[in-house]
Chains A and B, each alone.
Chain A
Amino acid sequence: MEKNFSQFLCNLRLTQNQREDAKKKYEGVINCLARHFYDRGRNDSDQYLFGSYKTKTAIRPIEDGSDVDVLFKIDNDSYEKYKDNASGILQECRNALKDTYSTTEEIHAWGKVVLVKFSDGTHNVEVLPAWEKSDNKFFIPNTEDCGSWETFDPRSQIASFQESIDSTDGLTRDCVMMIKNWVRNTITMKYKSFNVVQDVISFANSIYSSGKRDENYDVVVRDFFNYWVNRLSDKDERRSHFQTALNRANKAVQYEKEGKHIEASEEWRKIFDPKLFPHSDKNEERENEVNRFSTAPRPWSH
């Protein structure tokens, strides 16, 4: 099953073209805003990329809502101008972008972001205008509830994710990608990507803090479902979905141990997108002598 999981991860990763397309789009958006606010082209210090494109956990297929998240850093003058008018900065950004992305793209400003929706149906760009504070955090506008500015700290989120990737030898990233696919494939479950990342970090740091080593992906993913089934409250509407996934994962792991690769892969294809998780087409012939018993000593500890 390890090969199936490796192929699955390859199927999830963005292609070179997709990554380049995303970069071209968000740099284009930042370039447009830099010309408007600073009368010059973009430079790297104008932006801070965050979210799944920064952490390299964006997955295929690119769907509506697969947005590239990027901060555009506004200067002190702009902040002073709009500090009592949060929606004003969003509108100015929106208007600046409309000059460039005039007819074919949709541009919306609400909440905290300006969304540039591209007509080619691939990556959209969500840009947050943000004022960088002296503590390296950002102040971002929020137009809800009469409008205000709030602190946003993407750097610490990225840092904790990177730390987890480094210590788990990349396992955290792999798990985030796979679980995001499970979430997409479980259409009645609401589970935000931000929470997926936090939950995977918590699980990986606790259980596989040095990486998966010689453990197999099927056991790691099963352990993720088991970990959270044991921690989610009964009132959490995700719990039943986690339990369903765990039941299937348990079956899959047992089938795999018996050499029943076809059955094992079918269980995983109920959890993950069957268009992306490979099907096994051959079982192994194994002599699995089953020791059946009906009485046994009771375990103890002192």
Chain B
Amino acid sequence: MVTLTYNEISWLWKVQPGLTYIHGANLLAGTFKFTAQYRTLEKITDSYDLVIRFTSNGILPEVYETRGKIARMAKIAGKQIGDFHVNSDGTLCMIREDKVYSIYKNGFDLKLFINHLMTHFYWISYYGIYGKEPWIAEEHGYGYLLNKLLWTKRL
């Protein structure tokens, strides 16, 4: 299970002072803020209240948005919350399971993860504000596994 080191916590405090590491519970909680821009698309400044729980299930922690902001964005857009990549258990789904190691080649890396959070929330904010995806998201569900199997059989 991932636990954060003193150096990591110090670094995090500088880049995301709104997030606090709660050692006993091994989680981060607070407000994640960013100003970001993808290619030539609009610059977005936004923030989300999060709980980020480090568990022994997989490399990445469980991320929960705790203020209902994403649910509200989905309602405004007239869409389901799953369209904003929130799973039925409330966790955010930031990457397809089979692609985790393409980003986290050496296991969990806090700097990579914070950057990943920033790009993920840019996507969410952009979709909520402009009603279109800034870049294509994965298809929902496990259909990709079937496609992989069919492709493998073809070979």
* A interface residue numbers (CB < 8 A to B): 206-207, 223, 226-227, 229-231, 250, 254, 257-258, 288-294, 296-302
Contacts and interface: CB of A to CB of B under 8 A. Distances in A.
B46 interface: yes
A290 B96 CA distance: 27
User: Which size bracket describes the interface of B in this complex?
Assistant: 35 or more
Given A230-B77, A291-B34, A299 B123 contact: yes
B44 A254 contact: yes
Given A254-B43, A297-B119, A299-B85, A230 B137 contact: no
Interface of B: 34-39, 42-46, 72, 75-78, 82, 85-87, 93-96, 99, 103, 115-116, 118-120, 122-124, 129-131, 135-138, 140-142
Nearest to A287: B35
A297 B124 CA distance: 13
B136 A298 contact: yes
Contacts of B130: 250
Nearest to A291: B36
A295 B31 CA distance: 24
Given A227-B76, A254-B43, A301 B86 contact: yes
Contacts of A289: 35
Given A254-B42, A290-B37, A301-B86, A296 B75 contact: no
A257 B36 contact: no
25 contacts: A250-B129, A254-B42, A254-B43, A254-B44, A254-B45, A288-B45, A290-B36, A293-B38, A293-B122, A296-B120, A297-B95, A297-B119, A297-B120, A298-B137, A299-B120, A299-B123, A299-B138, A300-B93, A300-B95, A301-B93, A301-B140, A301-B141, A302-B87, A302-B93, A302-B140
B44 A294 contact: no
Contacts of B136: 298
Contact of A293 (B36, B131, B142): B36
Contacts of A229: 131
B96 A298 contact: yes
A296 B123 CA distance: 9
Contacts of A227: 76
Given A207-B72, A257-B35, A293-B38, 11 more contacts: A207-B75, A250-B130, A254-B45, A289-B35, A292-B36, A294-B39, A296-B38, A298-B96, A299-B137, A299-B138, A301-B140
Contacts of B86: 301
A299 B45 contact: no
A226 B137 contact: no
A289 B29 CA distance: 22
Top 9 nearest A-B pairs by Cβ distance? A296-B119, A257-B45, A300-B138, A299-B85, A301-B93, A291-B36, A297-B95, A300-B96, A301-B85
Contacts of A230: 76-78, 131
Nearest to B39: A294
Contacts of A223: 72, 76
Contacts of B95: 297-300
A302 B142 contact: yes
Contacts of A206: 75
A229 B36 CA distance: 25
A290 B35 contact: yes
Contact of A299 (B37, B38, B72, B94): B94
Contacts of B42: 254
Contacts of A296: 38, 116, 119-120, 122-123, 135
B43 to A, nearest CB: 6
A293 B119 CA distance: 8
B77 A226 contact: yes
Nearest to A288: B35
Contact of A257 (B46, B85, B123): B46
A258 B47 CA distance: 12
A294 B135 CA distance: 10
Contact of A300 (B35, B38, B85, B119): B85
Contacts of A258: 35, 45
